[in-house]
Amino acid sequence: MGNRKTISRRSLLTGSAIAAGLALVRTATGQWVNALVPEKIPLDPTKQLGAPQGKMGTRSTFEKLEKIPSDTSSRTPLHLLQGTITPSDLHFERNHGGVPAIDPNQYRLLIHGMVDKPKVFTLEDLKRLPSFSRIAFLECSGNFRTGKEELTPQQICGLTSQSEWSGVLLSTLFREVGIRPGASWFLAEGSDAAVMTRSIPMEKALKDGILALGQNGEALRPEQGYPARLFLPGWEGNTSVKWIRRIEVSDQPFMTREETSRYTEKVNGKIRQFSFDMDARSIITFPTYPVSIEKGWIEIRGIAWSGRGKVIRVDISTDAGKKWQPAMLQEPVLDKAHAYFRYFWKWDGNSTEIASRVLDETGYLQPTIGQLINARGKDMGGYHLNPITFWQVKKDGRILLRPQNWK
């Protein structure tokens, strides 16, 4: 190497390595390094001046964090995150007509119907109103996958994410137009290709609804509703209508497609409608598929949340649900937010199953899939399924999901 301070990746690739497609290549000093990294990674970062300050921060090219997109949604890599805040570019997506491109200068919000003064607001108008922020999770009500052992937390329930949301309280916004007596619902309408609509009870809006303009310190990402969306803490994600352009205040629900033929669920032969609240749920994010563990101390960790308030307790079982012990909760435990839990476990090398369950401040204890079937019938619909997730620990250290099939 002599006095060269950096290694050009290309210069290191020998003909045989290229032919074999090897990810690892050998340097002139005999070290094995990953060929799939940017050029000019110094062997010793203390011996070379680093990159200058920039206009934007970047994620290390060594970090491969990705959502899993499908035709309808895109899932957050829960098992690869640290702490409780989801990076904005990894927040899950569920769109009904793609992500629209919206010019903030052309953006308008119309509020009309049963109001004293119907009004049109520009983005600048909305930014003049008092700003409010809170940390909260957002979860799609269709957030449950199972059926095979090789599933990650991202695949099972990656349609939940957490952000600090900022914007105008709906109670503040509605004061600008004056809600008429008798108004009890409003229609929220998006400006996407689906012109997404949901009917929302006025009571929720006035309690804690937000017209969100910001997420994690900056303007909303286009995928999250830029430049403005509804955010209803603890409620099924579909109600937090993105790219909102119109609010019509009414004395009844509008019975839109999304709240009749979708986002409703069969329960004992009936169809449950306006099931807004997200029930409490938890998921272990480590150790889970695809990792393997070795004998000795393991920190079992994960997230727990409730759409009805605060997490009170998370229990861990390391014997397939026979006994449960309380985990430690990371402070602060916030209302309607992902809470971080941990539990120290000394694995003895025997096969077993590990699981978590959450208790929320209403006294609701996360159910098993069997309890959900007992309550809703075996033909229950696919929304609002929040069962305890069990992970099989194999003798060789592999962790696999215990599939939970009922149909």
Q: Which of residues 305-364 bind other proteins (CB under 8 A)?
A: 308-309, 360, 362-364
Asked if 239 is part of the footprint of other proteins (rule: CB under 8 A), the reply reads no
Q: Does 216 bind other proteins (CB under 8 A)?
A: no
CA nearest 155: which of 61, 283, 241, 264? 283
Count of residues that bind other proteins according to CB under 8 A = 72
Based on CB atoms, which residue is closest to other proteins, 152 or 199? Answer: 199
- What span, in angstroms and rounded, lies between the C-alpha atoms of 338 and 162? 7
Using CB under 8 A, which of the segments 25-33, 111-119, 141-149, 344-352 binds other proteins? Answer: 111-119
The answer to whether residue 90 forms part of the interface with other proteins (CB under 8 A) is no
Q: Is residue 267 part of the contact set for other proteins (CB under 8 A)?
A: yes
Residue 134 touches other proteins, criterion: CB under 8 A: yes
125 binds other proteins (CB under 8 A): yes
| Measured CA distances, 249 to 34, 350, 400 (Å) | 59, 60, 49
Told to check if 133 binds other proteins by CB under 8 A, we report: no
**Does residue number 148 form part of the binding site for other proteins (CB under 8 A)?**
no
Give the interface segment with other proteins, choosing from 25-33, 40-48, 120-128, 339-347 (CB under 8 A): 120-128
Q: Token pair for residue 113? A: 């119907």
Footprint (CB under 8 A) of other proteins, residues 365-404: 365, 367, 371-372, 374-376, 379, 384
Query: Which stretch, 6-14, 192-200, 289-297, 340-348, contacts other proteins (CB under 8 A)?
Result: 192-200
Cβ(233)–Cβ(136) below 8 Å? yes
Interface residue with other proteins, options 240, 279, 298, 390 (CB under 8 A) = 279
In the block, which residue shows the tokens 């215990």? 402
Strands lying side by side in the sheet with 296-305: 281-286, 296-305, 339-347, 328-329
Tell the smallest beta-carbon distance from residue 320 to other proteins (Å): 20
What is residue 263's DSSP assignment?
A: S
d(CA 100, CA 93): 13
Measured CA angle at 126 (ends 120, 129), to 5 deg: 125
Smallest gap from residue 119 Cβ to other proteins (A)? 4
SS3 155: helix
Rg of the chain over Cα atoms, rounded to whole angstroms, equals 25
Determine the Cα angle at 98 with ends 94 and 101, to 5°: 120
Q: Report helix, strand or coil for 374.
A: helix
Task: Tell me if 68 contacts other proteins by CB under 8 A.
Answer: no
Strands 109-113, 244-250: pairing kind:
parallel
| Closest CB 74 distance from other proteins, rounded Å | 18
- Residue 42's contacts (CB-CB under 8 Å, 6 or more residues apart) are 5, 6, 7, 48
C-alpha torsion sign, points 118, 122, 125, 127 = positive
Q: Does 94 sit near other proteins (CB under 8 A)?
A: no
Specify the stretch interacting with other proteins by CB under 8 A; choose among 38-46, 79-87, 115-123, 310-318.
Answer: 115-123
Q: Under the criterion CB under 8 A, does residue 269 sit at the interface with other proteins? A: yes
DSSP code for 196? -
* Distance in Å from the first CA to the final CA of the chain: 63
* Residue that has been written with the tokens 């909760």 in this structure: 329
Indicate whether 246 belongs to the interface with other proteins (CB under 8 A): yes
Residue 118 touches other proteins, criterion: CB under 8 A: yes
Closest CA to 82 of 315, 314, 340, 337: 340
Pick 79 or 376: Cβ nearer other proteins = 376
- Binders of other proteins in range 172-191 (CB under 8 A): 172, 175-177, 187, 189
Kindly state the smallest distance separating residue 168's Cβ from other proteins, in Å: 10
Q: Verify binding: residue 96, other proteins, rule CB under 8 A.
A: yes
**Measured from the CB of residue 330, what is the shortest distance to other proteins in angstroms?**
22
97 binds other proteins (CB under 8 A): yes
